[in-house]
Structure 1
Amino acid sequence: MAFINDNKRFSQWAISICLLVLVLITLDFLGDYRDGVPWPHLFVEAIILMLSLLGLVYFGRLYYQFTQTKINLLTQDLALATQQSQEWREANRELIAGLAVQIQKQFDNWQLTPAEAEVGMLMLKGLSHSEIGQLRNVSERTIRDQARAIYRKAGVTGRTELSAFFLEDLLLPR
């Protein structure tokens, strides 16, 4: 990835320089043409103009290729992560279902309302208050109030302690 980023950055600089040369030579060419400068001089400037245009096209294509390569690598990484996630879920389907049942039982022990239990489950899944509010079609303030009620009933100080309550025993000790 570093190779691609370095070459992409180089291409960006090369494009900028070619573009600058293209603009300056074009302005010089037009000024010289108006002033009646001899054709051999204009011919040399026209060649420089074409070379800068070719450089612009070449480095533009190179930049595009590096960008596409990076996009392809990221797409492959995402596909692999998605596949691994799906395989993990499949292999642990029964455990996940059992954990969900146990979490719900604990929510019942804490006497959470159905709305609080839903908010609690969504918080454990990692959604923000804003995202939960959008999903449930309520304001973010309502979700914050429900989260505070969950924390109070559970005897925890926040989302981290709530998550740790359920996950702490699942993780192996060091």
Structure 2
Amino acid sequence: MMTLSLSFAIWLYRGWRRASRALAQTRHAFAARHATLKAERDQWRASAQSTLAGLGAAIDGQFDAWKLTAAEREVALLLLKGYGHKQIAGATQRSERTVRQHAVAVYQKSGLAGRAELAAFFLEDLLLPREP
């Protein structure tokens, strides 16, 4: 009985050590991948900085042409970033209904039908298909 208990304890300990090593390897791989992705993101941002600044200026210019208020601009930018009405309300300390009203005003002033058309208005030409 004692031998069986000792064998079982050794078996459990070895299993625990294997699991601990596997977890450590997984954590290391995850940290390395995270660092690689962060470096790639930072490199892309640095190389695209002037383009992004120009895009930001172009978006501001279009918002001026549409005569959007400051609140409508803020909501429109957050919609372009992919946030939902509830998320925008939380981020801007406004009610969801107010955010929805601002979004409707943006769509009316721009002549666009909704969030998808708003995003497409600014992004469609940036995402041209690759030539064969």
**Pairwise TM-score range, normalised by the shorter structure:** 0.7 to 0.9
The corresponding residue for 1:140 is 96
Aligned alpha-carbon RMSD (Å) = 1.8
- Give the aligned residue type for 2:98: T
User: Residues 62 and 140 of structure 1: is their aligned pair in 2 closer, same or farther, counting only changes over 3 Å?
Assistant: farther
Q: How far is the alpha carbon of 1:46 from its aligned partner?
A: 1.7
Q: Percent identity at matched positions?
A: 38
- The alignment's TM-score, normalised by the length of structure 1, stands at 0.67
Q: How far is the alpha carbon of 1:173 from its aligned partner?
A: 2.6
Alignment of 1:24-173 (within 5 A): 45-173=1-129
- Mapped to 1, the partners of 2:97 and 2:125 lie a distance apart of 32
SS, match of residue 126 in structure 1: coil
- Give the aligned residue type for 2:82: G
- Mapped to 2, the partners of 1:100 and 1:122 lie a distance apart of 13
The number of aligned residues is 130
Q: How far is the alpha carbon of 1:97 from its aligned partner?
A: 0.7
- The alignment's TM-score, normalised by the length of structure 2, stands at 0.85
Q: How far is the alpha carbon of 1:160 from its aligned partner?
A: 2.0
Runs (4 or more) in structure 1 with deviation over 6 Å come to none
Unaligned runs of 5+ in 2: none
- Mapped to 1, the partners of 2:99 and 2:22 lie a distance apart of 44
- Give the aligned residue type for 1:87: Q
User: Residues 142 and 59 of structure 1: is their aligned pair in 2 closer, same or farther, counting only changes over 3 Å?
Assistant: farther
- Mapped to 2, the partners of 1:141 and 1:54 lie a distance apart of 62
User: Residues 76 and 127 of structure 1: is their aligned pair in 2 closer, same or farther, counting only changes over 3 Å?
Assistant: farther
- Mapped to 1, the partners of 2:88 and 2:54 lie a distance apart of 24
SS, match of residue 138 in structure 1: coil
Unaligned runs of 5+ in 1: 1-44
